[in-house]
């Protein structure tokens, strides 16, 4: 395993992959390890902020009738505490681990889209700062993290509080979506040769599942947030019962997102345990296949349980029984995990390190949170439990137990890899026991408070209700827990300087990240590893594990520029050599301009908004610099034979990236149309204006379909080496697209006389749905024109990127077309059929 | 706030409004399901905890018996137990428990979703930020009456509850009598209750509804039918009728009534006078209530004084504005209010 490479090779790889020092390097770096560490530190800071907010609330509730906080302060605190912990800590901290670990675990030099990775991080920072900037005018979000309407509507909450919430979470949604797409494509395309699906570490399964869930769940939140912002700023009626809207529409959209999100913020954390626990038990995980399948199953089932947040909203009993049952079924994959971990410890030889203790603590906390979850799934009893402190206890056992404890285990486990130094074990034990006792003193009595009838979200309570003593205990637990977190910070700061040097593999762990130095070099692996088993570093001692012999240290080199292998998704056989992008300032610029756009929207200032959007568009163009390029068939000789460079179709990451964009956008429009169907079905009388004229829309539909056919024809011609015909076809497509938009504008103009977006819920839906589709047509036009305009230039450097840009634009254009057909069928044709 | 004060006021109080000690239906069935699930949950947790501790601490076999060392190169091989049986057995037990829990849920749901016999009384509840408007319907429409925050019901009689909201979402809940029913603008949700024991049961808003969500309590008093009938008759009566005819009212009270009608009638009603406001609670029988401010504080003349002069100080954000009344005017209003039996 010893590196047999010339030092000169390492030096040249170092020069190729290293980020230059200084502010420039700071803003432009796309190294997944740098980004991962930034995610971890930033999310941890948000954990501390959320903790301070909790500490203030616990002081207020320490005794009956205290006045440390005003009701408004308390309401802002519990709202921002929820938003911070759920959106700005729990998910990003896991992105941090996954960003840092994925390429190292999978045997790659970076993520599939390093620049997208940087964008994801900067957007997260931008969204976090944006939401917290509301503190400066004293108007932090104050309607709960769940933000129920109509309380969150302008009529009842007239400040800017909820605008910060809506826009901040939309911005964060972009960050999470591009991050998720990046993980999915990384998983399918950039693993080491031989890293087949049945060899993936479980954290990879967890993050993959979470990422797929995000693509389909987040658009539901985005739709809800857009509706909310439009209602508040422009007087639409999505949630307004007096004009055809429904408050429950928000709850459905929010929880269709919200419950899957719970699994997003626990599955990767459970993965941490499934990967780290075996190291300290000196044996492989029991039931790897079961645990991997359970992870995926949880992600899927998570979409079928949202109604259990709404048991008390007056839904008929049959529906309640169905969702109650579904919510209990989801306990089954959780049980798989618990018994797999138990058996791993039982049959292992535990080494009781701090990381191990945190994982054992996690199993107990997870069990408590799990069984209390089953209690809440029992509908009639949930009518009592819901909105009491029992739920507060349950959700904190789940989130602290399944997210925070594995995260701390992860800190102790991978800190040596990230920094090269060990965390102190003695302090670590104090750290664990303080947090473990603290968390139970803090949250266990809350079950009791709930059973004693204490509702959630009250800023104070009377002394005669029998809740005072328990609340005091809870507050003491909270401060004990805080001391535990403080001990960790002390440990981390001390160990950064004075920790014991770690070496490559201080825990004698089995996975690839431990085969490289601590901290790893910028290029991760001097030669790309070739993986032959699930435990590449334990192959010599595990006779039953396939008996493979992974090649580490003298595999394929790939050193002409930033390169790594692209592989076939299932078997991980190399099928392309990928040219990886260099550092870039554009992700940062895009993130900052989108944050400015949000500031402009909340202020509101049209100039800021427009400027932000303009810079954002220019940043995207500069970033991708798509150019009109002919199809190229460049190949390169590797250990795996002649491989194409970058490839095309599903061999290229570009294709996969666009597929992810289309998947999440399709979900977005599906939620828009579902909202239309829901409100239309809930309306007792047919909506007055709801039978749009087909005289303009029908020809317009034909025009858009024609444009797609023309573009497809052009693509074919380009494929066969006729770029001028391709160029002509693209031009015709652009013209047809413009005609479509003009006709739509004309149609809007005549319809506005009878139905306006502010007339009723129908008007709001009609213009929002068709408007969003129009915006997508416009985006498609910008892409087409950009590619065309840059067509006069010759491709500056090799590769197939010009052709990939054309293939992607074509794909996107077809998608926008299909969306229109759905919109046309739902909004134009169906009302006439009924 | 000194520490001794905090400790002094913290005492275990058996009067917590706990749904685990139900006093009627459907809370009784809900609690039974709750107790069953609690026992299962505790049992599962204890078993897992014991397994976990034993798994961590149990004595291992000598490592040499599970590994074979290769003497020549020093490498060793581990003999592994698959452990999959844990997952099979664990899953089987989990599925059985869940099936039991689900069956119990469905049975309980069937019995608690609807009243066992047709309700005899209907109450219409309209939730406001941050108080409850109560309208007791009657088969004789003119016998229906309106009150606020304090409701009486006869023991043993099923009551239909219809809830609606004029502003934001609230949730109607009396832990000892029935679980929550959300109060959602634009729809009327229906549930039911039956008190099996006499007593006064605390209810509260359970859905976050803004600044004073914490102070949106109410009470349901269950009493024998004849006492309920008496209460209902008294509530039906207009205020003027409730005073003795030709009663020589003290001048202070009369002055208070005048000030009340001119100053407070925009929001409050006292039936039988010209105060007809609907924005705030109906005060026709205010003096018959135990608390003011939706369970905020005891209904005493001193507290009424504070409330009428500056409700904002007692319940920040309450929609009742600070009244700019002279002290003796406030006193007159309060002396009038205390006559509204």
Which of A453, A466, A479, A684 to mutate: most B Cβ within 10 Å? Answer: A453
* Mean pLDDT over the full length of chain A: 93
Is residue A327 packed enough to be buried (19+ CB in 10 Å), middle (13-18) or exposed (0-12)? buried
Domain limits at A55? 29-498
For residue B273, tell me if it sits in a domain.
Answer: yes
Q: Is the pLDDT of residue B2 over 60?
A: no
B153 and B134: one domain? yes
Are the beta carbons of B213 and A367 separated by less than 8 Å? no
Whether B26 contacts chain A with CB within 8 A = yes
Distance CA A231, CA A217 (A): 22
For residue A582, tell me if it sits in a domain.
Answer: no
Q: Is the pLDDT of residue B245 over 70?
A: no
B71 and B137: one domain? no
| Cα of B149 to nearest chain A Cα, Å | 17
B140 and B186: one domain? yes
Q: Residue A373: which CATH number?
A: 1.20.210.10
Report the DSSP pairing between strands B159-165 and B121-128: parallel
| Structural domains of chain A, count | 2
| Cα of A358 to nearest chain B Cα, Å | 13
Return the residue of B nearest to A284 by Cα: B80
Given B92, B112, B132, the domain boundary residue is B112
pLDDT band, very low/low/confident/very high, at A649 (cuts 50, 70, 90): confident
pLDDT band, very low/low/confident/very high, at A696 (cuts 50, 70, 90): very high
Are the beta carbons of A314 and B190 separated by less than 8 Å? yes
Q: DSSP letter at A454? A: P
Tell me which H or E stretch contains B250.
Answer: none
Q: Residue A829: which CATH number?
A: 1.20.120.80
Among the ranges given (A95-109, A173-187, B49-63, B162-176), the one the predictor scored with the smallest mean pLDDT = B49-63
- A455 three-state secondary structure: strand
Are the beta carbons of B80 and A241 separated by less than 8 Å? no
Are the beta carbons of B33 and A63 separated by less than 8 Å? no
Whether B35 contacts chain A with CB within 8 A = no
Among residues of chain A, what percentage have pLDDT more than 70? 97
Which of B5, B16, B162 to mutate: most A Cβ within 10 Å? Answer: B16
Residues of B with CB below 8 A from A147's CB?
Answer: none
Given A448, A477, A498, the domain boundary residue is A498
pTM for the structure as a whole: 0.95
CB A764 within 8 A of CB A238: yes
* Sign (positive or negative) of CA dihedral A17, A23, A26, A27: negative
Residues 147-186 of B with CB under 8 A from A: 167-169, 171, 173, 175, 178-182, 184-186
| Structural domains of chain B, count | 3
Average pLDDT over residues A80-90: 98
Among the ranges given (A307-321, A387-401, A556-570, A809-823), the one the predictor scored with the smallest mean pLDDT = A556-570
For residue B11, tell me if it sits in a domain.
Answer: no
Tokens of A410: 């992860």
Average pLDDT over residues A677-694: 86
pLDDT band, very low/low/confident/very high, at B246 (cuts 50, 70, 90): very low
Are the beta carbons of A387 and B45 separated by less than 8 Å? no
For residue A571, tell me if it sits in a domain.
Answer: no
Q: Is the pLDDT of residue A427 over 60?
A: yes
For the stretch A321-364, pLDDT in tens is: 999 999 999 999 999 999 999 999 999 999 999 999 999 999 99
Whether B292 contacts chain A with CB within 8 A = no
Tell me which H or E stretch contains A152.
Answer: none
Whether A21 contacts chain B with CB within 8 A = no
Residues of A with CB below 8 A from B19's CB?
Answer: 384, 451, 453
Which pLDDT belongs to residue B9? 45
Residues 201-220 of B with CB under 8 A from A: 202, 204-214
Q: Is the pLDDT of residue A207 over 80?
A: yes
Identity of the highest mean pLDDT range in A474-483, A550-559, A597-606: A474-483
Which pLDDT belongs to residue B199? 96
For residue B8, tell me if it sits in a domain.
Answer: no
For residue A122, tell me if it sits in a domain.
Answer: yes
Q: Between A and B, how many CB-CB pairs are < 8 A?
A: 294
ipTM at complex level: 0.94
For residue B17, tell me if it sits in a domain.
Answer: no
pLDDT band, very low/low/confident/very high, at A131 (cuts 50, 70, 90): very high
Q: What is the CA radius of gyration of chain A?
A: 27
Return the residue of A nearest to B54 by Cα: A346
Are the beta carbons of A381 and B167 separated by less than 8 Å? no
Which pLDDT belongs to residue A545? 59
Between A634 and A616, where is the model more confident?
A616
For the stretch A698-732, pLDDT in tens is: 999 999 999 999 999 999 998 888 888 999 999 99
Residue B26 CA, chain-centre distance (Å), reads 14
| Cα of B286 to nearest chain A Cα, Å | 22
For residue B214, tell me if it sits in a domain.
Answer: yes
Are the beta carbons of B167 and A150 separated by less than 8 Å? yes
pLDDT band, very low/low/confident/very high, at A629 (cuts 50, 70, 90): low
For the stretch A455-490, pLDDT in tens is: 999 999 999 999 999 999 999 999 999 999 999 999
For residue A436, tell me if it sits in a domain.
Answer: yes
B173 and B76: one domain? no
Domain limits at B288? 239-337
Which of B101, B183, B294, B315 to mutate: most A Cβ within 10 Å? Answer: B101
For the stretch B69-104, what's the b/e string if a residue is b when 16 or more beta carbons lie within 10 angstroms of its beta carbon? eeeeeeeeebebeebeebbeebbeebeebbeebbeb
Distance CA A118, CA A589 (A): 11
Compute how many other C-beta atoms are within 10 angstroms of the C-beta atom of residue B65.
Answer: 9
| Cα of B74 to nearest chain A Cα, Å | 11
Strands (E) across B149-296 are located at 150-154, 159-165, 170-174, 178-183, 189-195, 199-204, 217-223, 291-292
pLDDT band, very low/low/confident/very high, at A799 (cuts 50, 70, 90): low
B45 and B100: one domain? yes
Q: Is the pLDDT of residue A779 over 70?
A: yes
- Whose structure tokens read 């400040």? A159
Q: Is the pLDDT of residue A134 over 70?
A: yes
């Amino acid at each position: 395993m010893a590196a047999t490479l010339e030092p000169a090779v390492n030096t040249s790889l170092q020069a190729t992959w290293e980020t230059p020092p200084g502010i420039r390097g700071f803003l432009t770096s796309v190294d997944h390890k740098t980004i991962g560490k930034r995610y971890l530190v930033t999310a941890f800071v948000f954990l501390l902020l959320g903790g301070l907010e909790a500490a203030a609330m616990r002081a207020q509730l320490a005794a009956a009738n205290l006045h440390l906080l005003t009701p408004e302060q308390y309401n802002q605190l519990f709202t921002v505490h929820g938003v911070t912990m759920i959106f700005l800590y729990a998910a990003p901290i896991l992105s941090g681990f996954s960003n840092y670990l994925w390429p190292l675990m999978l045997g790659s030099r970076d993520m599939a889209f390093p620049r997208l990775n940087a964008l994801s991080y900067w957007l997260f920072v931008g969204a976090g700062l944006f939401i917290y900037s509301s503190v400066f005018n004293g108007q932090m979000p104050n309607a709960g993290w769940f933000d129920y309407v109509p309380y969150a509507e302008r009529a009842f909450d007239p400040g800017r509080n909820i605008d910060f919430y809506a826009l901040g979470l939309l911005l964060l949604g972009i960050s999470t979506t591009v991050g998720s797409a990046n993980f999915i494509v990384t998983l399918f395309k950039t693993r080491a040769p031989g890293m087949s699906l049945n060899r993936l570490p479980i954290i990879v399964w967890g993050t993959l599942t979470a990422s797929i869930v995000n693509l389909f769940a987040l658009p539901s939140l985005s739709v809800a947030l857009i509706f909310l912002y439009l209602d508040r700023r422009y007087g639409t009626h999505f949630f307004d019962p007096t004009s055809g809207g429904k408050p429950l529409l928000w709850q459905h959209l929010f929880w269709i997102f919200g419950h899957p999100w719970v699994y997003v913020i626990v599955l990767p954390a459970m993965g941490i345990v499934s990967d780290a626990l075996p190291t300290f038990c000196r044996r492989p995980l029991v039931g790897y296949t079961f645990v991997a399948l359970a992870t995926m199953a949880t992600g899927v089932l998570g979409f079928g349980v949202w109604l259990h947040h709404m048991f008390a909203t007056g839904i008929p009993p049959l529906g309640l029984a169905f969702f109650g049952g579904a919510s209990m079924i989801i306990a089954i994959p959780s049980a798989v995990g618990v018994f797999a971990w138990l058996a791993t410890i039982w049959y292992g030889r535990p080494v009781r390190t701090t990381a191990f203790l945190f994982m054992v603590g996690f199993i107990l906390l997870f069990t408590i949170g799990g069984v209390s979850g089953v209690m809440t799934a029992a509908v009639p009893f949930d009518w009592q439990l819901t909105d009491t402190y029992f739920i507060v206890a349950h959700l904190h056992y789940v989130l602290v137990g399944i997210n925070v404890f594995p995260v701390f285990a992860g800190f102790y486990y991978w800190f040596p890899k990230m920094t090269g130094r060990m965390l102190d074990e003695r302090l670590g034990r104090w750290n664990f026991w303080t947090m473990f006792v603290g968390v139970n003193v803090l949250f266990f009595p809350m079950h009791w408070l709930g059973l004693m009838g204490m509702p959630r979200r009250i800023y104070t309570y009377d002394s005669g209700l029998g809740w005072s003593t328990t609340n005091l205990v809870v507050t003491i637990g909270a401060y004990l827990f805080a001391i535990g977190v403080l001990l960790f910070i002390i440990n981390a700061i001390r160990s950064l300087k004075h920790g014991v040097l770690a070496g490559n593999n201080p825990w004698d762990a089995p996975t690839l990240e431990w085969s490289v130095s601590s901290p790893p070099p910028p290029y991760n692996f001097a030669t790309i590893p070739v993986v032959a088993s699930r435990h590449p570093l334990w192959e010599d001692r595990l006779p039953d594990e396939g008996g493979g012999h992974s090649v580490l240290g003298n595999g394929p080199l790939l050193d002409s520029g930033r390169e790594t292998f692209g592989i076939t998704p299932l078997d991980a056989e190399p099928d392309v050599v990928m040219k990886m992008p260099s550092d870039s300032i554009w992700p940062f610029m895009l993130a900052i301009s989108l944050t400015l756009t949000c500031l402009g929207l909340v202020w509101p200032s049209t100039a800021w908004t427009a400027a932000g959007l303009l810079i954002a568009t220019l940043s995207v163009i500069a970033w991708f610099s798509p150019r009109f390029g002919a199809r190229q068939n460049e190949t390169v000789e590797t250990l795996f034979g002649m491989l194409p460079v970058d490839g095309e179709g599903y061999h290229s990451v570009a294709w996969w990236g666009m597929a992810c964009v289309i998947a999440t956008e399709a979900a977005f429009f599906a939620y828009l149309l579902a909202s239309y169907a829901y409100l239309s079905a809930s309306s007792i009388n047919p909506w007055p204006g709801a039978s749009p004229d087909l005289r303009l829309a029908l020809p317009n539909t034909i025009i858009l379909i024609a444009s797609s056919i023309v573009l497809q024809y052009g693509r074919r011609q380009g494929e066969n080496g006729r770029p001028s015909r391709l160029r002509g076809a693209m031009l015709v497509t652009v013209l047809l697209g413009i005609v479509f938009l003009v006709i739509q504008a004309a149609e809007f103009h005549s319809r506005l006389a009878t139905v306006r977006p502010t007339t009723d819920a129908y008007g709001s839906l009609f213009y929002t749905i068709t408007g969003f589709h129009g915006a997508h047509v416009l985006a498609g036009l910008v892409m087409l024109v950009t590619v065309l305009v840059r067509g006069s230039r010759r491709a500056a450097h090799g590769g197939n990127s010009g052709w990939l840009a054309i293939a992607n634009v074509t794909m996107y254009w077809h998608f926008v077309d299909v969306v229109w057909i759905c919109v046309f069928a739902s909004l134009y044709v169906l009302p006439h059929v009924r | 706030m000194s520490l001794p004060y905090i400790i002094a006021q913290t005492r275990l109080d058996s009067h917590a409004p706990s749904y685990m000690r139900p006093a009627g239906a459907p809370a009784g069935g809900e609690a039974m399901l709750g107790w069953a699930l609690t026992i299962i949950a505790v049992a599962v947790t204890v078993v897992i905890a014991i397994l976990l501790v034993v798994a961590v601490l149990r004595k291992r076999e000598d490592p040499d018996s599970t590994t074979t060392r290769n003497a020549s190169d020093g490498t060793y091989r581990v003999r592994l137990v698959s452990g999959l049986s844990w997952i099979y057995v664990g899953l089987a037990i989990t599925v059985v428990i869940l099936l039991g829990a689900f069956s119990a849920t469905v049975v309980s749901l069937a019995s608690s979703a609807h009243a066992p016999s047709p309700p005899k009384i209907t109450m219409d509840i309209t939730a406001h930020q941050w108080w409850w408007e109560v309208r007791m319907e009657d088969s004789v429409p003119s016998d229906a009456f309106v009150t606020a925050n304090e409701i009486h019901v006869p023991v043993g009689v099923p009551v239909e509850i219809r809830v609606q909201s004029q502003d934001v979402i609230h949730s109607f809940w009396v832990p000892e009598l029935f679980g929550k029913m959300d109060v959602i603008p634009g729809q009327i949700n229906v549930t039911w209750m039956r008190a099996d024991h006499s007593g006064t049961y605390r209810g509260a808003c359970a859905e976050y509804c803004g600044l004073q969500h914490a102070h949106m309590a109410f009470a349901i008093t269950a009493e024998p039918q004849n006492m309920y009938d008496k209460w209902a008759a008294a509530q039906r009566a207009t205020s003027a009728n409730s005073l003795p005819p030709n009663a020589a009212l003290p001048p202070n009270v009369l002055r208070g009534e005048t000030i009340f009608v001119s100053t407070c009638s925009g929001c409050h009603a006292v039936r039988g006078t010209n105060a007809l406001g609907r924005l705030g609670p109906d005060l026709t029988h205010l003096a018959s209530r135990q608390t003011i401010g939706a369970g905020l504080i005891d209904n005493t003349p001193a507290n009424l004084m504070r409330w009428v002069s500056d409700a904002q100080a007692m319940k920040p954000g309450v929609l009742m504005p600070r009244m700019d009344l002279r002290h003796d005017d406030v006193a007159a209003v309060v002396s009038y209010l205390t006559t509204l039996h």
